[in-house]
Amino acid sequence: MTLRIRLISSSLAALGLALVVVGSASRSSGAARDDSSQLSESAGMEVSIPIVDGKPRAKVIDYARLDQRLRQLAGEQAMVGLAVGIVENGEIRFLKGYGETVAGSGDPVTPETVFRWASLSKGVAGDMIAKLATEGQLSLDAPVGEYSYSLRLPGGYERVATIGDLLSHRLGLFSHANDSKLEDGEDPHVLRNTLAGLNAICPPGQCHAYQNVAFDAASDVVETVTRMPYQQAVVERLFRPLGMRSASLTREGLEGAKSWARPHQGGKHSKPVPVTESYYRVPAAGGVNSSIKDLAIWLTAQMGKDRDVLALAALDHVREARVNTPGELGRMRKFRERLHSAQYGLGWRIYDYAGHRIIGHRGGVTGYRSLILYDPDRKTGVVALWNSATNQPGGLEFEVMDMLYGLPARDWLAVGDDDAVDVDGGTA
């Protein structure tokens, strides 16, 4: 695949590297993905019409305006560092870092800077298990207790709840069961076993309540089938074949990166806080790290870019809406003008946005936030990683969707509106 690169901004030292990737030649399936060797730097900006499925499709994302908006956002006091990637028509067309890896350090965030994904990791677990299902190694309808050696549910429901129920948070538990104990340092395997002593709020498959400790029984499932540690299976069967060189699922993988963003609970005038270990111990729920470049590669895989790694049948499994999540609409009430429904698949959220079906997730652990959102039909979407507790960058995903659908622009980022800044220290 031949790529031609043009830089959106010349302020590289302060703002990091911005790439607009132009090109449409298909890459043969089966080869490990490593586009970095083909990237070159040049001044200016080039616009072209890519070929998608044999048909020309014009660019609709206004990258210059987007970059201006992101530079404004990066200047907000609540921000420290930010990395953003855009995939349009199935190709990575924008990668850029803003701000700093450590507040006040002058060390810039670049497309190679590694952050934590937090709950975007749940989509990895969903994809991994859907991949095993399409390869005939398990059934999504099998009782999760047949594969998980640590999960015990009230009333012996682990013999009733399916793997699909596990991945769509339909186990009959109350929301975030035992998360506080996980954060206090208790062993997640023990905590999953003690879930049997809780009161069920519904039979499995009948209601949705978001989980982390229980959801990580997905790692048991993968380990039982592949006979290797979850982290190893994900790296060998997903990340490495996709060419995601920076992606890992351990604290050492984060802190050992050449460039990594330190977590902050405050903004530009704050000091970094320690990297927390808790959610690395539930890797299927919140353990992934990577650069924005690799998260963008992951996004293209969700669009069917690498069908030898993630078959369309697996993607169809994870994107199938299995339960309505009206509580999500309440949490996203700022966007209700256009956000009409919310559902959950297998580690992925499904929304109706202005009549369009879009897929994504958000994430948060101490000092980090993340998002991924895309339109599977138009093969266009956005990813972002940042190292502070503000939720303000969350509006980015809908500013990109508005460009995609030609909708009137809204200030979803609320740049300059101090009253709109929402800081949340919890997990998503």
Q: Give the pair of three-digit tokens for residue 297.
A: 């590669």
Report yes or no on 323 lying in a domain: no
Q: Give the pair of three-digit tokens for residue 138.
A: 């398990």
Answer for the pair 427, 179: CB distance below 8 angstroms, yes or no. yes
Which neighbouring-strand residues pair with 51? Answer: 56
User: What mean pLDDT is predicted for residues 49-58?
Assistant: 51
Please report the pLDDT score of residue 351 as a whole number. Answer: 98
Answer for the pair 398, 381: CB distance below 8 angstroms, yes or no. no
pLDDT at 3 over 90: no
Residues sharing a CB contact under 8 Å with residue 93, sequence separation 6 or more, in sequence order: 19, 20, 21, 22, 59, 61, 63, 86, 87
Q: In this predicted model, what pLDDT tens digit does every residue of 213-254 receive, in sequence order? A: 999 999 999 999 999 999 999 999 999 999 999 999 999 999
Report yes or no on 171 lying in a domain: no
Please report the pLDDT score of residue 12 as a whole number. Answer: 32
Specify the amino acid at residue 68: Q
Quote the number of domains for the chain: 1
Residues sharing a CB contact under 8 Å with residue 55, sequence separation 6 or more, in sequence order: none
Residues constituting the chain? 428
Report yes or no on 269 lying in a domain: yes
In 3D space, the residue among 161, 148, 241, 253 whose CA is nearest the CA of residue 200 turns out to be 161
Report yes or no on 15 lying in a domain: yes
Looking at per-residue confidence, does 11 or 388 come out higher? 388
Which residue segment(s) compose the domain that 18 sits in? 4-117+249-315+348-420
Report yes or no on 90 lying in a domain: yes
199 — pLDDT class (breaks 50, 70, 90): very high
Specify the amino acid at residue 210: Y
Report yes or no on 41 lying in a domain: yes
Residues sharing a CB contact under 8 Å with residue 202, sequence separation 6 or more, in sequence order: 172
CATH number of the domain enclosing 54? 3.40.710.10
Give the chain's mean pLDDT.
Answer: 88
Residue 353 CA to residue 341 CA, distance in Å, equals 8
Q: In this predicted model, what pLDDT tens digit does every residue of 364-421 receive, in sequence order? A: 999 999 999 999 999 999 999 999 999 999 999 999 999 999 999 999 999 976 554 4
pLDDT at 5 over 60: no
Report yes or no on 178 lying in a domain: no
Q: In this predicted model, what pLDDT tens digit does every residue of 118-173 receive, in sequence order? A: 999 999 999 999 999 999 999 999 999 999 999 999 999 999 999 999 999 999 99
Report yes or no on 71 lying in a domain: yes
Instruction: Return the SS3 of 318.
Output: helix
Specify the amino acid at residue 122: K
Specify the amino acid at residue 295: L
pLDDT at 98 over 70: yes
Helix (H) or strand (E) holding 97, with range, is strand 91-99
